[in-house]
Chains A and B, each alone.
Chain A
Amino acid sequence: MELTLSFAIGVLTASGIWLLLRPRSFQVIIGLCLLSYAVNLFIFSMGRLTLGAPAIMPKGGFIDPTRYADPVPQALVLTAIVISFATTALFLVVMIAARGFTGTDHVDGKEREPQ
């Protein structure tokens, strides 16, 4: 299970980085989305993988923390999901505005000059 998830994080990261370095803005935005999945999973995995024990408490009684998933990385990732949604939306709008202004979807706002 751990091996699978680390493989998944690796593939998502690699795809994200590769897209991040591409010249077209749509590639970059997709890359950022993939990277955010990878990073969210990575942060989440720092609480270790727990099966079938969500952090939902009984109402009262003694609580043994070792029986539940670590809630801190989950809370962090929940915030991260929201923020990455916000930044994606912002980037998308900047991207289509830049496309309208510059007439190209190259990240630099101008096509690479032929060398």
Chain B
Amino acid sequence: MEPMAGVALQNQLLLLAVLPFAAALLVATLPQRASALVAGLSMALALMLLAALAPAVADGAVLRVELDWVPSAGLGLPLRLDGFAWLFATLVSAIGLLVVIYASGYMAGKDGLPRFFALLLGFTGAMQGILLSGNILMLVVFWELTSLFSFLLIGFWHKGAAARDGARTALLVTAGGGLCLLLGMLIVGQIVGSYGLDAVLAAGPQIIGHPLYGLALTLVLIGAFTKSAQFPFHFWLPGAMSAPTPVSAFLHSATMVKAGVFLLIRFSPALGGTEAWFLAVTGTGMATMLIGGLIAIFRHDLKGLLAYSTISHLGLITALAGIGSPGAILAAIFHIVNHAMFKAALFMTAGAVDQQTGTRDIRRLGGLRRTMPLTAGLAIVASAAMAGVPLLNGFLSKEMFLAEAASWHNGTVMDDALPYLAVVGSVFSVAYSVRLVITVFFGPPSKKLPKAPSEPGWAMSLPVAVLAAGCLAVGLVPMLAVGTFVNGAGLSVIGPDFTPATIAIWHGFNEALMLSVVAFVVGIALWLSLRAQIPLGPEGPALLHRLRGQTVFDRVMLKLGWVYPRRLMSWISTERLQPQLRLLVVAAALAAGAAAWGAFAFAEVRRLNDFSAGFALMWLVGAGCAIGAAAQAKYHRFAALVMLGGAGLVTCLTFAWLSAPDLAVTQLLVEVVTTALLLLGLRWLPQRRAAIQGDNSAQARRRRAQDLVIAVVGGTGIATVAYAMMTRPLVRNVGDWFLANAYYEGGGTNVVNVILVDFRAFDTFGEIAVLAVVALTVYSLLRRFRPAPESIKQPDQQSQTNSRMLDDYLMVPSVIMIWMFPVLMMIAAYFFFRGHDLPGGGFAAGVTMAIAFLLQYLATNVRWVEARLTVLPTRWIGIGLLIAVATGMASWIFGYPFLTAYAQYVTLPLIGDVPAATALVFDLGVFALVMGATVLMLIAIAHQSLRAARLREHDDPEETR
């Protein structure tokens, strides 16, 4: 192949993989009619691409495209197309095109068409992804994606409970199976040493000989069986029938459910050929075929019958994949194609019947051949194909199946039983096909129909006609119609050992034909014997209908998802906060004790600063404040708050005393703001006047005593640890580097500030982001906030004074506070500019500025301030964050990592040397954000008074006059 042509083919393959997703995005934005058109066009384009790709995969050739994803980690997105994937992809696109045409008629006039087609295309893309993946992990990702799209499509009419339940069950079963598949693939990849599909397929003996083969096989099989609705996971498929009928025709008969058998056939060279494989796969397939076929005979819902029939036929294909001989693989591939054709046609017919008559209940339908002759004719052709009538495609693949079942494979009991089981399965297939055709289309016209039936529009008939014609064409001239492609697919699965088979419609009077004849005779006899009882009975054979997979599943889900977790929670957990916190504190204390146990010692030579009486006196007050706050917080909140402030001030002085001026400044400012916040909050916590009931009971006392012990133990422990640490010599650390380089590298002499805005600026960036998030959360919480009813009425202080007294209230302080505004602005600027070299910085400046605003609110009232000042805190937050990000990104321009700072001093006239590091710009961002966030929180709480006033006016207009 010429290199240029090779590149063109690779690009086509890439386009094929991307096309459905791109089309899905486009379709989602289009109006109703156009969405169907574009969806159809993209399916047609995919078919054309596949036609162009056909020569590239003929004769067992494989087309590959390697896409780099994370080259450094050796991760790529390889695409791989061979004959088998080509056939399957063509099937998906062809049925997809017909389904889109059908859906444009079926869904006409319904809501959400663009969404429907977008999901359909998304599913197509995911399905193509499974087929085209050249990496087994990528395959699993697309596998799960099909489950997700299936979930969304089943639940498309999400207003119905049945649709929601069906969608949920399908997702849980298939996605759960997908997780098993992922584990299985991980094990396989580990065994092979590569996740490349080619490497895995070539490593069959290595995988089978590995001790983990059994586990890997089990997991992969669970994945395949759940997807292909194999017993005992089959129950999700009937539930999925709540989906719009085009979805049932596309996903749940023709394509998605075939992904499981695709996987089995694809991996049969790597995982198959063992007795375990044969027993598990063929056994499950046969069981599914029999159970599905048996239940299908008894279903009254037309789509339900077709769903169980689908289960049964999937069982047949699974059984063939389990047998694994070249003939069986060929038969399986052939039946995948055939089943897709006739079953999609039948589902489309069922949708048409449902829409034209208003019911899907077989018991109410009858004689439709008179009113819907075309539909009836097409449905009869498709049903005959399903039953395996000669001259139709179903006959051919079923003959191949019967021939495979009858021939000798490995001599196990299962192998011996195969022919009999196969015939029984065929008998069921004949019986439900006959029942479907006779009861729905023949006999006297039913008088129980909700609507007078007539033929559906061309959009709903044409796809069925195409599919029925396909059934006939394949049945009459199989080699001409699909022979090359099926043989090509077989070749690419099995490899060079494969000898192309000739599919002929006449093989002479052989074993398979005999079995077929037997199946027909017995099948018709079975239906004749049951025809009178079925309409009266329940939807299933006598005993089996009681044991419904769905019921078991629901019960298990209820237990696992609700009953057991609740019970477990009530055993091991509590919803009450106090025991949880108590447990947390005790666990922390125990962990600390265990860590220190046996290893704890004070330093022999203690490094001590001289005892300072002033410091001790200061902390005497501080400790008193702390204990007082602890004692008073319940009944005297205000007193507790004042004492909390006392403890905070002492902490602040401690920082100043012990060479941490930045901390002292920050602590002081934060203390002011926190106290103001808490004071504002106290307004909404009604004063506690009466003692809490049971507060002095023996139990409450005991609890308090117990907590006191915990508190004292915790306090003593941490004090001991702190003392032991403080008296040890300092281990020299990274701080030395910061000290030595702050000026040379960061251009500032205040090391703490340089660390914050330069060396560790990214931390600070995260921190201010947190602050912004908190401020916005506070703001939005307070917008929805409804205060406690008893705190809405005017506080006593306001209601018991007249308005003249209020006018003069705190006259002198308020004038001073108003005058302080420019002064505080100046202080903020001062803090800001000296920050890099001396204590201060953007954070301190921001809080100072916020306090300046706060003072205005305190001095007057909300309305007065906001009539004079425009405060836009959210904008300040945004601007601050943007400045910080922009400063960080600016270093990219110079090729440095995010937030690399550059330092320089600039000499300004009159002022002198000013540090002009880029860190200063970053600090400006910090300033703006901190100011905005703090002001936003304070104002949000302050505005509650306005809202409460409005509430009062609303409730009682008289009172406020």
Contacts and interface: CB of A to CB of B under 8 A. Distances in A.
A77 B661 CA distance: 12
A24 B577 CA distance: 11
B215 to A, nearest CB: 47
Contact of B633 (A22, A89, A96): A22
A97 B785 contact: yes
Interface stretch (B493-501, B762-770, B882-890): B762-770
Given A57-B739, A59-B749, A108-B577, A18 B644 contact: no
Nearest to A33: B644
Given A5-B722, A65-B735, A96-B785, A14 B714 contact: yes
Interface residues of A, number: 91
B771 A82 contact: yes
B137 interface: no
A50 B937 contact: no
B231 interface: no
B911 interface: no
Interface in B783-797: 784-789
Contact of A103 (B637, B678, B788): B788
B749 A47 contact: no
B800 interface: no
B711 A4 contact: no
B414 interface: no
B756 A78 contact: yes
B718 A10 contact: yes
Interface in A15-46: 15-24, 26-27, 29-31, 33-34, 37-38, 40-42, 44-46
B715 A6 contact: no
Given A26-B637, A48-B730, A78-B752, A2 B723 contact: yes
Nearest to A23: B578
B743 A57 contact: yes
B626 A85 contact: no
A2 B726 contact: yes
Nearest to B681: A92
Nearest to B660: A74
Interface string B735-758: 110111011000001111001100
Contact of B661 (A54, A58, A83): A54
B218 interface: no
Interface in B676-727: 677-678, 681, 684-685, 693-694, 699, 707-708, 710-712, 714-716, 718-720, 722-723, 725-727
Dominant secondary structure of chain B at its interface with chain A: helix
B609 A2 contact: yes
B722 A45 contact: yes
B401 interface: no
A108 B733 CA distance: 45
Contacts of A23: 578
Contact of B654 (A15, A41, A101, A103): A41
Contacts of A51: 609, 657-659
B742 A4 contact: no
A89 B774 contact: yes
Contacts of A17: 585, 707, 710-711, 714-715
A56 B677 contact: no
Contacts of A57: 739, 742-743, 749-751
B781 interface: yes
Contacts of A13: 711, 714-715, 718-719
Interface in B564-583: 575-578, 581-582
Given A57-B742, A63-B739, A8 B619 contact: yes
A2 B640 CA distance: 27
Interface stretch (B53-61, B388-396, B663-671): B663-671
Given A41-B654, A65-B740, A88 B659 contact: no
A51 B654 CA distance: 11
A90 B775 CA distance: 8
B893 to A, nearest CB: 28
Contacts of A92: 677-678, 681
Given A4-B612, A56-B749, A74 B633 contact: no
Interface string B917-942: 00000000000001001000100110
Interface in B631-656: 633-634, 637, 640-641, 644, 647-648, 650-651, 654-655
Contact of B730 (A22, A26, A47): A47
B739 A27 contact: no
A15 to B, nearest CB: 4
Interface in B238-289: none
A105 B789 CA distance: 13
B673 interface: yes
A18 B708 contact: yes
Interface stretch (B186-194, B533-541, B835-843): B835-843
A70 B708 contact: no
26 contacts: A4-B615, A4-B619, A6-B723, A10-B718, A10-B719, A13-B715, A19-B629, A22-B633, A33-B648, A37-B647, A38-B718, A51-B658, A54-B839, A55-B742, A56-B837, A69-B659, A72-B755, A78-B843, A82-B843, A86-B770, A88-B674, A92-B678, A92-B681, A93-B937, A94-B781, A103-B789
- A-B residue pairs, 4 tightest by C-beta: A14-B715, A10-B719, A18-B711, A65-B736
Interface of A: 1-24, 26-27, 29-31, 33-34, 37-38, 40-42, 44-60, 63, 65-66, 68-72, 74-75, 77-79, 81-83, 85-90, 92-97, 99-101, 103, 105, 107-108, 112, 114-115
